[in-house]
Amino acid sequence: MKLTGVELRRIEMPLVAPFRTSFGTQTSRDILLLRAVTDVGEGWGECVTLSEPVYSSEYLEGSADVLRRFLIPALQHTELTGAHQVAPVLSRFIGHRMAVAALETAVLDAELRAQGRSFARELGAVRDRVPCGVSVGIMDSIPALLEAVQGYVDEGYVRIKLKIEPGWDVAPVRAVRERFGDDLLLQVDANAAYTLSDARELARLDEFGLLLIEQPLPEEDILGHADLQHRISTPICLDESIVSAQSAAAAIRLGACQIVNIKPGRVGGYLEARRIHDVCAAAGVPVWCGGMLETGIGRAANVALAALPGFTLPGDTSSSGRYYEADITEPFVLQDGHLPVPDGPGIGVTPLPDRLAEVTTSTEWISF
């Protein structure tokens, strides 16, 4: 398989409602899509970088630049026997995992489409549908939060995740628990908004029987997470701190987490995501699939990943309608709290031409 060219396509997708986290508020998504064209066919990948470097050091313009100047040219003279070669060829470039992930995914999608094989089969999925949770952003008031959670419960989501930050943690969690009871699967996500000095405040969350607290401390503070886990009973789940199978193994060995959130873009792609899954499974550590407000392209691949055996907790693989009035693919629709795993070739979905044209803001073709 030889890569003959890559299209970089920018699209703008308004969100159905503002999504606020501890690092900012999003009202729309500026998204970079990749279409890899090879001598055996083409495939799609989605780069999950945000417009600004607030979730990680990566950002959209930087990802487009590194793809254009370094990553794509590095594959120009490579005769690929498969997408598994992409990451090794690009390993001399430091960081930029989200950009690498998008390129690898597009090449892998092209490869699997040509072979008539699905993403789910390639990754090792064992289920044909996956349970879905939903992430609820920070709200202006507790009544607004309760109304939002009620809507998601009514839609059938099997798990609720609340975004938290200092000053918006114990009170909203208590309100949701009191309103919806102990049977609701409930977890919180701090997006690294706290420090170890907040341990006493975070320990107040223990009384609510949460599934986990996600990334309470800065991503570099692995030892701090290990220390915090000794001070609280709520299981710590790492997100931003996990960037590879190696970092996952180290965090588990140090006792910094009991659960791992796997986001393929954050770790450099779905093949590395599968390695992290395998490391965690060997250690008896459950994993779940995180989300970055993906379109149907990224969502399809995430759902396939979430069907692997070690993904025992509901992920953030919400329906398309959670974020977008109209997706760029056929929409993913919640069915009894679950989403079906695509079983077609490659990621199993393709963009709808008219919808894609409607949201496209620019295209760039890089040919060899």
Model pLDDT, residue 80: 86
Rounded distance, CA 84 to CA 120, Å? 16
Model pLDDT, residue 184: 97
Model pLDDT for residues 282-303, shown as the tens digit of each residue: 999 999 999 999 999 999 999 9
Model pLDDT, residue 121: 96
Token pair in block for residue 251: 């965090």
Domain extent listing, the chain: 3-115+350-363, 121-340
Dihedral sign computed on CA atoms, order 294, 296, 299, 305: negative
Contact by Cβ (8 Å): 101, 265: yes
Residue with tokens 């990754």: 123
Contact by Cβ (8 Å): 287, 310: yes
Q: Residue 232 pairs with which residues in a beta bridge?
A: none
Could you tell me which CATH number the domain at 121-340 has? 3.20.20.120
Model pLDDT, residue 290: 95
Tell me the angle at which helices 245-253 and 222-231 cross, rounded to the nearest 10 degrees. 40
Catalytic residue status for 263:
yes
pLDDT range class, residue 148, cuts 50, 70, 90 = very high
Of all residues in the chain, the percent with pLDDT exceeding 90 is: 94
Contact by Cβ (8 Å): 329, 303: no
Model pLDDT for residues 266-285, shown as the tens digit of each residue: 999 999 999 999 999 999 99
pLDDT range class, residue 35, cuts 50, 70, 90 = very high
Catalytic residue status for 163:
yes
Model pLDDT, residue 180: 97
Model pLDDT, residue 22: 81
Model pLDDT for residues 164-197, shown as the tens digit of each residue: 999 999 999 999 999 999 999 999 999 999 999 9
Catalytic entry in 20, 96, 163, 274: 163
pTM, two decimals, is 0.95
Model pLDDT, residue 97: 98
Contact by Cβ (8 Å): 122, 112: yes
Rounded distance, CA 157 to CA 66, Å? 38
Distances 283 to 70, 112, 269 between C-alpha atoms, Å: 36, 30, 21
Mean residue pLDDT of the chain comes to: 96
Rounded distance, CA 277 to CA 252, Å? 12
Model pLDDT for residues 42-54, shown as the tens digit of each residue: 999 999 999 999 9
Q: What is the DSSP string of 16-75?
A: EEEEEETTEEEEEEEEEEEEEEETTEEEEEEE---SSTTSSS--HHHHHHHIIIIIHHHT
- Which superfamily does CATH assign the domain made up of 3-115+350-363 to? Enolase-like, N-terminal domain (3.30.390.10)
Catalytic entry in 35, 263, 274, 299: 263
Model pLDDT for residues 78-134, shown as the tens digit of each residue: 888 899 999 999 999 999 999 999 999 999 999 999 999 999 999 999 999 999 999
Token pair in block for residue 183: 């049977």
Distances 171 to 18, 184, 201, 203 between C-alpha atoms, Å: 21, 17, 11, 13
